């Protein structure tokens, strides 16, 4: 019997969503610090058959935790103990910033979705870098075989204008690349004004080129570089980003971030309107995220690693993304609804799936 749905229904669903997230995340970290996570790991560790190669790294599972859950690298080891093959930390910005005023995270339970306008609340690159460094060393010690991978997702500080975006991303690349297994340039959050304009290839080319060079220089090795795109891009713009990524020999594309669309929802229009502005994630994003993956797959013909994210809830969803051309798959929103053993459950079912063998 699963206990989490009852906890969610009786406790979390009545609380402010950000407060529920903080309590849940604190409990996960507590389980790690008191040693319970290490014990659990015997049951949550992905089967060896799930090991996946992507951009020169070996991942214990193709399934990982998307950016936004652990924005500042406070719980990487604890989350890895739950079975995620990678944890993408961030978005981290060059400067510390508080994000948007609360309330800024809302559940649409009927739709198994959330709307957020967090606005990149984080301690800033300089403060997060040492946490990543020590988490990396700890993962190495705690997972002597194939260890979970740390992705680092960087974005633009709100106070920095678009004209100075490149130098702001470079601050993050310089301090964070040495502790990152891979780096993601996030240009697709709807909650930082103007950010998504950086997806225009004319602007994206110099940004990705500069970040890639700076990251490799700072780390003294090649740090795989990916770009994360929005589901709201037109098909032509998706093709243009794919062409650019191939041209720049980028290591991959992550698709997709949250959407500003509000279509196909079962929640009442009043409930949705009361949430206000922000990015919608979870089940309603599933279809569009799959479409973007298919579009990218066609445009890149297998020449680029694709990471699919958006509306993934089950092992079947993960498998569908792998079958559609993704090498790695991520999820976030369903974690809030499914609870701490979500990744372990997905891994167990994936390992049983014949098409992975
Ligand atoms: C509360 C919340 C915060 C998020 N913060 C970030 C973020 O800081 N950076 C980012 O690239 N994506 C962020 N995301 C987007 C997720 O990484 C993911 O792309 C999106 O939610 C779609 O996946 P899902 O449907 O599995 O949640 C956030 C999502 C949520 C729900």
Is the pLDDT at 353 greater than 80, yes or no? no
- CATH number for the domain running over 4-356: 3.20.20.70
Q: Using alpha carbons, select from 63, 98, 131 the residue that is nearest to residue 334.
A: 63
- Which of 33-42, 48-57, 318-327 is predicted with the least confidence, judged by mean pLDDT? 33-42
Q: What is the pLDDT of residue 131?
A: 97
pLDDT at 1: 64
Give the pLDDT confidence score for residue 354 in this predicted structure.
Answer: 55
- What token pair was written down for 125? 């690159």
**pTM for the full model?**
0.95
**pLDDT value, residue 246:** 96
Closest Cα to atom 13, ligand 1: which residue? 68
CB proximity list for 202: less than 8 A, separation 6 or greater: none
Checking if the pLDDT of 66 tops 80, the result is: yes
Q: What average pLDDT does range 258-283 have in this prediction?
A: 96
Ligand 1 in contact with 186 (CB < 6 A)? Answer: yes
Q: Say how many Å lie between the CA of residue 288 and the centre of ligand 1.
A: 15
Whole-number pLDDT of residue 32: 86
Question: Where does the pLDDT of residue 73 fall: very low under 50, low under 70, confident under 90, or very high at 90 and above?
Answer: very high
Q: Is the pLDDT of residue 33 over 90?
A: no
And the tokens for 206?
């110099």
Q: What's the pLDDT tens digit per position in 181-219? A: 999 999 887 888 777 887 677 889 999 999 999 999 999
Upstream peptide bond of 93 is cis (omega within 30 degrees of 0) = no
Average pLDDT over residues 146-175: 95
CA distance linking residue 76 with residue 191, whole number of Å:
24
| Mutation choice for ligand 1 from 281, 287, 309, 313, CB with most ligand atoms inside 8 A | 281
Q: Which residues contact 155 (CB under 8 A, 6 or more apart)?
A: 90, 91, 92, 93, 120, 169, 172, 186, 187, 189, 192, 195
How remote is the CA of residue 174 from the centroid of ligand 1, in Å?
A: 24
Q: Tell me: pLDDT of 169 over 50.
A: yes
3-state secondary structure 17-43: HHHHHHHHHHHHHHHHHCCHHHHHHHH
Portion of the chain with pLDDT greater than 90, in percent:
80
pLDDT above 90: residue 272: yes
| CB-based contact 114:176 (threshold 8 Å) | no
Whether residue 8 is predicted with pLDDT greater than 70 in this model: the reply is yes
CA torsion sign for 137, 139, 140, 142 is positive
Q: By CB neighbour count within 10 A (0-12 exposed, 13-18 middle, 19+ buried), where does 109 fall?
A: middle
Distance (angstroms) between ligand 1 centre and the Cα of 119 equals 11
Beta strand pairing call for 113-116 and 149-155: unpaired
pLDDT at 355: 62
Position 357 pLDDT exceeds 60: no
For the chain, what is the mean pLDDT?
93
């Amino acid at each position: 019997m699963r206990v989490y749905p009852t906890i969610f229904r009786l406790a979390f669903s009545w609380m402010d969503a950000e407060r529920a997230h903080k309590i849940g995340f604190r409990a996960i970290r507590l389980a790690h610090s008191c040693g319970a996570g290490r014990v659990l790991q015997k049951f949550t560790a992905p089967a060896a058959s799930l090991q996946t190669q992507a951009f020169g790294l070996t991942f214990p599972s193709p399934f990982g935790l998307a950016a936004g859950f652990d924005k500042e690298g406070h719980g990487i080891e604890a989350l890895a103990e739950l079975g995620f093959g990678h944890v993408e930390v961030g978005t981290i910005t060059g400067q510390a910033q508080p994000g948007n005023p609360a309330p800024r995270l809302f559940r649409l339970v009927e739709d198994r979705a959330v709307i957020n306008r967090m606005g990149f609340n984080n301690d800033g690159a300089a403060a997060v870098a040492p946490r990543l460094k020590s988490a990396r060393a700890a993962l190495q010690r705690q997972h002597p075989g194939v260890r979970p991978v740390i992705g680092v997702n960087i974005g633009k500080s709100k106070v920095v204008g678009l004209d100075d975006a490149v130098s702001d991303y470079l601050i993050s690349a310089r301090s964070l690349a040495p502790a990152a297994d891979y780096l993601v340039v996030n240009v697709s959050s709807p909650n930082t004004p103007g950010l998504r304009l950086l997806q225009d290839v004319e602007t994206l080319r110099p940004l990705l080129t500069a970040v890639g060079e700076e990251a490799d220089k700072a780390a003294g090795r090649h740090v795989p570089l990916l770009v994360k795109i929005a589901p709201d891009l037109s098909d032509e713009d998706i093709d243009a980003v794919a062409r650019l990524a191939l041209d720049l020999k980028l290591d991959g594309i992550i698709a997709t971030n949250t959407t500003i669309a509000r279509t196909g929802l079962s929640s009442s229009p009043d409930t949705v309107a009361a949430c206000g502005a922000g990015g919608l994630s979870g089940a309603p994003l599933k279809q569009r995220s799959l479409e973007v993956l298919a579009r990218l797959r066609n445009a890149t013909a297998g020449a680029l690693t694709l990471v699919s994210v958006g509306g993934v809830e089950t092992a079947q969803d993960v498998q569908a993304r792998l079958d559609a051309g993704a090498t790695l798959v991520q999820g976030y929103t369903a974690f809030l609804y499914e609870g701490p053993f979500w990744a372990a459950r997905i891994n167990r079912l994936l390992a049983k799936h014949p098409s992975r063998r």
